[in-house]
Amino acid sequence: IPPSKIKDPPGESCCYEPVHIRVTGLPPFQVVTLKASLKDDKGDLFQSKAFYRANEAGEVDLEQAPALGGDYVGVHPMGLFWSLKPEKAFWRLLKHDVLNTPFWVTLDVYDSICSQYSAIIQPSASQVVQRWFSGPGVQRKQIREGRVRGALFLPPGEGPFLGVIDLFGAIGGLVEFRASLLAARGFAVLALAYFDYEDLPEELLEVDLEYFEEAANLLLAHPKIQRPGIGVISMCKGAEIALAMACYLKQAVAIVCINGFTAVMGVPLRYKDLVVTPIRPEMERVQVHASGALSYCHCYGDPRDKLNGQSVLPVEKAQSRLLFIVGEDDEFIRSKLYAEQAMDRLRSHGRSHGRVLVYPSAGHLIDPPYAPLCFASRVRGLPRPFLWGGDPAAHAAAQEHAWGEIQKFFRQHLIQNRSKFFCKL
Amino acid sequence: MVQLTATPVIALVDEPVHIRATGLTPFQIVTLHASLKDEKGNMFYSRAYYRANEVGEVDLERDSSLGGDYTGVHPMGLIWSLKPEKLLTRLLKTDVMNSPFQVQVKLHELDFLLNNKPISAPKASLTLERWYVAPGVTRIRVREGRLRGALFLPPGEGRFPGVIDLFGGIGGLLEFRAGLLASRGFVSLALAYCDYDDLPPQPEITDLEYFEEAANFLLRHPKVHGPGIGVVSTCKGAEIGLSMGIHLKQITATVLINGTPFVFEVPQVYRGQIYPPVPPSIQLVAINTLGLTEFYRMFEETQIIASQSFLPIEKAHGHFLFIVGEADKNVNSKRHAELATDRLRRNGKSNWTLLSYPGAGHLIEPPYSPLCPASGLRALSSSVHWGGEVIPHAAAQEHSWKEIQKFLRKHLISTVTSQL
């Protein structure tokens, strides 16, 4: 019997690229098990598996064959990747070293049904695939200029490149994986920290918009960055900050807000003399999920409530283009509610520079394509995990679609901006 | 002065408690926090946030929880929403006779409890005792012939209807439901059938004669009033209970909770008649978003209706009560009950009642038992998802427990009076 083989192109790929997995040399019509596993930067194990039936030629082609059971069901060529689950409960898959090492994903085929209740057998075929968080020639530069703290990712070449600031949420610290991936797609990206990193304050007690203005000016001053405007990609609390940048600053001309607030939340926003009072979160409205994870989405108030009027961001003042990306099953923020409120406000002021993409059954953590759905995880060492929500297959589809839309949006509106600028001369 | 009261402080686990707080500031938001330590030292916690009314009172029978482990008006919410500190731990009482579960209820200022321990000291507190047996219930260890288990007798003179209590493939001996049934006036035999005492850890067959021996043992007991006895059974126990109802004339009332009308895992044997198990389709086992294993699709593709594994339920003379958790992720309880009731209908039988509960999971237990969504050994990857949503599951437990007792009394006691 010829040994079964896993065929897929490049052993190395960028993790936003799909992988075509095909297995050959199996007994015809045999039900087999495909498994994927990886260890993260800290050595924690993530695994997934699915059961497939080989066809009459003894092949399983993941682009055509439906999974019968396991971590997902149906035809999902990248299912083994986005359904990876941690061995340690409530652990999120995050790459910290984004340039120097990939994730090594081991793909195993077992030519029978392999569950945790069956005897341990050896796989009949195995292959390791490298999934990189960056591309050839991308460079990383640690940024410590003025107050600005973060990391700048530059694509290879002379440029000029479209500049983007990348803001994550209340997780704090510096999250780099999205910035490095966008750099592999040709953008110059500043992953910007704003608290709990280096000499930045440990807790976020207020949002000082001048810090973000300094970061935007720093990016624009770089010789390889396209002027006069930059983009911002942002998530959660970062999206509230990005929207404030759109309303009060002029450097950011294309803003992507993923599952964020459209009002000042929790801590005040300051820009020079302006102080915007925040909505006070009602922590008594937290809801505990059956798993013990905490759903906060009812704690953050309603932006349409007149009592919150002074905190809602004046999006009609923004000169930039806005793209709201919403996971409808977001358990952390009622993102749809906030995005719709902002869109209504734009419309009522006769502004049409906003757009919203709503993804049914997608959760809070809309990451680049094929990132495993993290349904709940611990944040900043707090003992009770936060519930993020999402249905795995729908969330995966949302990530794939959103990634394309985000790049199109930046290319369309940052380049247009440049041509607008030239036209004015 | 802030006061916290509960009525009654000492009660059976299936009795509700009325919790109230007085002496608060009007409209103040407070935290009610409950904690319990099980016999192994595992901690369970719950909390809810309430707003006091204009006279500074909170009444759990009237007021709505704003958030926490439950929202809405749920007088017993603090108890049934208790959650383990250690993931996947199930709340189970092993010694039901000698000690209750003690539930500490504490009232705090609005305290955002990020972890389980409050930041400030409580303003008031009390301890509830939750017992699985009423005063006067006696327990007798059973080691007769092959039989292994525990017999619970209600207090008082006279005779009572008898019930055999069967749990599922968990094995061992679970006594808590039998203790409660005895407290409610039934002579209850908690019967072990695997992995207990000198019983085999994993029997290769289910020998129905063992259960016949148990039925006869119960009927012989001087405190049991025949001629019929009942069975309360869950999961694998319900497959056995169904068979008892079919083959043993003594069984006149059978409660089947989230079971199967067909034989699975190992064959069932009764006096030479063999029912083979339905082969499982392991490739249909699913892993959910949290990494828990769900078995409920395992028999989805199997042709059950025509198979020899499908138990001939129409041959039973007694009555059946099917209890279905529609959100059961361990067995496809709804489909299984439909298979059984369809077969009964096709044979012109109407000796059954079906109670189907949306949002209820596999482990439908007596009222106020906290929902255990999954249990397992060390790793998530080897744990089993039972299913169920906290609030509807609690409602299902409350409702079904009353219905189970009504059903047993109707079909066991009426046969008694008809003898007079």
Are B81 and A383 inside 8 Å of each other by CB? no
Residue A139, beta-bridge partner list: A154
Strand ranges for B159-210 from DSSP E: 162-166, 187-191, 206-207
Are A287 and B68 inside 8 Å of each other by CB? yes
Strand ranges for B62-191 from DSSP E: 67-68, 83-84, 101-109, 124-131, 138-144, 147-153, 162-166, 187-191
Mean predicted lDDT score pLDDT of chain B? 94
For domain A5-132, which CATH number applies: 3.40.190.10, 2.60.40.2240, 2.40.50.140, 3.40.350.10? 2.60.40.2240
pLDDT at B372: 94
Catalytic residue among A40, A111, A330, A391: A330
Q: Which residue has the higher pLDDT, A70 or B301?
A: A70
- Min Cα distance A187 → chain B (Å) is 33
* pLDDT over threshold 70, residue B416: no
Catalytic residue among A247, A257, A329, A364: A364
Closest CA to A409 of A295, A317, A320: A320
CB-CB neighbors (< 8 A) of A93 in chain B? none
CA–CA separation, B398 and B67 (whole Å): 22
Q: Which residue has the higher pLDDT, A251 or A417?
A: A251
Q: Tell the residue number behind the tokens 């406000």, with chain if given.
A: A345
| B69, B81, B286 ranked by CB distance to A73: nearest | B286
Q: Which residue has the higher pLDDT, B383 or B416?
A: B383
pLDDT at B114: 58
Mutate to test the interface with B, among A87, A116, A331, A373 (most CBs of B within 10 A): A116
Average pLDDT estimate for B9-34: 97
CA–CA separation, A327 and A208 (whole Å): 28
* pLDDT over threshold 80, residue A418: no
Percent of chain A with pLDDT over 90: 86
CA–CA separation, A76 and A55 (whole Å): 17
Average pLDDT estimate for A11-20: 87
CA–CA separation, A400 and A395 (whole Å): 9
Q: What domains, with CATH codes, occur in chain B?
A: 3-131 (2.60.40.2240), 138-412 (3.40.50.1820)
CB-CB neighbors (< 8 A) of A83 in chain B? 287
Residue B318, beta-bridge partner list: none
Average pLDDT estimate for A124-147: 95
Chain B within 8 Å of A66 (Cβ-Cβ)?
Answer: no
Neighbours of A117 (CB within 10 A): 10
Average pLDDT estimate for A336-343: 97
Question: What is the DSSP-derived secondary structure letter of residue A328?
Answer: T
Neighbours of B305 (CB within 10 A): 11
The string of DSSP letters for A141-195 reads EEEEETTEEEEEEE-SSS--BEEEEEE--TT-S---HHHHHHHHTTEEEEEE--S
| B69, B291, B389 ranked by CB distance to A288: nearest | B69
CA–CA separation, B50 and B32 (whole Å): 8
Chain B within 8 Å of A45 (Cβ-Cβ)?
Answer: no
AA letter at B190: A
CB-CB neighbors (< 8 A) of A287 in chain B? 67-68, 71
pLDDT class for B246, splitting at 50, 70, 90?
very high
If contacts are CB pairs under 8 Å, which of residues 133-192 in chain A contact chain B?
Answer: none
Closest CA to A406 of A360, A359, A363: A359
Residues of chain A with CATH 2.60.40.2240: 5-132
pLDDT at A208: 98
Average pLDDT estimate for A49-61: 96
pLDDT at B380: 57
For domain A139-424, which CATH number applies: 2.60.40.790, 3.40.1080.10, 3.30.930.10, 3.40.50.1820? 3.40.50.1820
CA dist B111 → A170, A284, A291, A296 (Å): 21, 8, 21, 15
The string of pLDDT tens digits covering residues A364-390 is 999 999 999 999 999 887 878 999 999
| A48, A83, A284 ranked by CB distance to B67: nearest | A284
How many A×B Cβ pairs under 8 Å? 104
Q: Which residues in A182-208 are b (16+ Cβ under 10 Å) and which e?
A: bbbbbbbbbbbbbbbbeebeeebeebb
3-state SS class at A301: coil
CA–CA separation, A140 and A167 (whole Å): 17
Are B114 and A288 inside 8 Å of each other by CB? no
Are B114 and A384 inside 8 Å of each other by CB? yes
Are A284 and B68 inside 8 Å of each other by CB? yes
Are A89 and B290 inside 8 Å of each other by CB? yes
Q: Please, what is the angle between helix A237-248 and helix A209-221, to 10°?
A: 70
- Min Cα distance A84 → chain B (Å) is 9
Q: State which residue of chain B sits closest to A294, comparing Cα positions.
A: B68
pLDDT at A4: 64
Are B66 and A375 inside 8 Å of each other by CB? no
CA–CA separation, B301 and B317 (whole Å): 31
pLDDT at A11: 75
Chain B within 8 Å of A390 (Cβ-Cβ)?
Answer: yes
Neighbours of A301 (CB within 10 A): 22
3-state SS class at B20: strand
* pLDDT over threshold 90, residue B296: yes
Tokens of A410: 């930046």
- ipTM for the complex shown: 0.87
pLDDT class for B115, splitting at 50, 70, 90?
low
- Residue B330, exposed/middle/buried by CB under 10 A (0-12, 13-18, 19+)? buried
Question: What is the DSSP-derived secondary structure letter of residue A223?
Answer: T
Spell out the residues 6+ positions from residue A120 whose beta carbon is closer than 8 angstroms to its own: none
pLDDT at B72: 97
- Min Cα distance A407 → chain B (Å) is 29
Spell out the residues 6+ positions from residue A99 whose beta carbon is closer than 8 angstroms to its own: A133, A134, A138, A140, A180
CA–CA separation, A329 and B62 (whole Å): 31
The string of pLDDT tens digits covering residues B311-338 is 999 999 999 999 999 999 999 999 999 9
Percent of chain A with pLDDT over 70: 95
The string of pLDDT tens digits covering residues B195-227 is 999 999 989 999 999 999 999 999 999 999 989
Q: State which residue of chain A sits closest to B111, comparing Cα positions.
A: A284
The string of pLDDT tens digits covering residues A78-114 is 999 999 999 988 999 999 999 999 999 999 999 888 8
A297 is catalytic: no
pLDDT at A117: 62
Residues of chain A with CATH 3.40.50.1820: 139-424
Spell out the residues 6+ positions from residue A414 whose beta carbon is closer than 8 angstroms to its own: A162, A163, A226, A229, A230, A231, A253, A254
Are A284 and B66 inside 8 Å of each other by CB? yes
| A68, A89, A290 ranked by CB distance to B371: nearest | A290
Active-site residue list of B: 235, 328, 362
pLDDT at A10: 61
* pLDDT over threshold 60, residue A243: yes
Task: Tabulate helix, strand, coil % of chain B (nearest 5).
Answer: 20, 30, 50
Neighbours of A67 (CB within 10 A): 24
3-state SS class at A6: strand
Closest CA to A372 of A392, A387, A394, A402: A392
* CB A384, CB A376: distance < 8 Å: no
pLDDT class for B141, splitting at 50, 70, 90?
very high
pLDDT class for B378, splitting at 50, 70, 90?
low
pLDDT at A421: 46
CA–CA separation, A356 and A343 (whole Å): 8
The helix or strand, by DSSP H or E, that contains position B211, with its residue range, turns out to be helix B208-220
CB-CB neighbors (< 8 A) of A384 in chain B? 114-115
CB-CB neighbors (< 8 A) of B281 in chain A? 69
Are A70 and B285 inside 8 Å of each other by CB? yes
CA–CA separation, A16 and A113 (whole Å): 30
pLDDT at A118: 65
Average pLDDT estimate for B26-54: 96
CA–CA separation, A51 and A70 (whole Å): 6
pLDDT class for A424, splitting at 50, 70, 90?
very low
Spell out the residues 6+ positions from residue A215 whose beta carbon is closer than 8 angstroms to its own: A148, A150, A165, A190, A192
Q: Is the pTM of this model over 0.95?
A: no
| A70, A292, A390 ranked by CB distance to B87: nearest | A292
Range in A232-241, A261-270, A390-399, B287-296 the model is least confident about: B287-296
Tokens of A306: 């007149």
- Min Cα distance B301 → chain A (Å) is 11
Q: Which residues in A332-366 are b (16+ Cβ under 10 Å) and which e?
A: bbbbbbbbbbbbebbeeeebebbebbebebbbbbb
* pLDDT over threshold 80, residue A357: yes
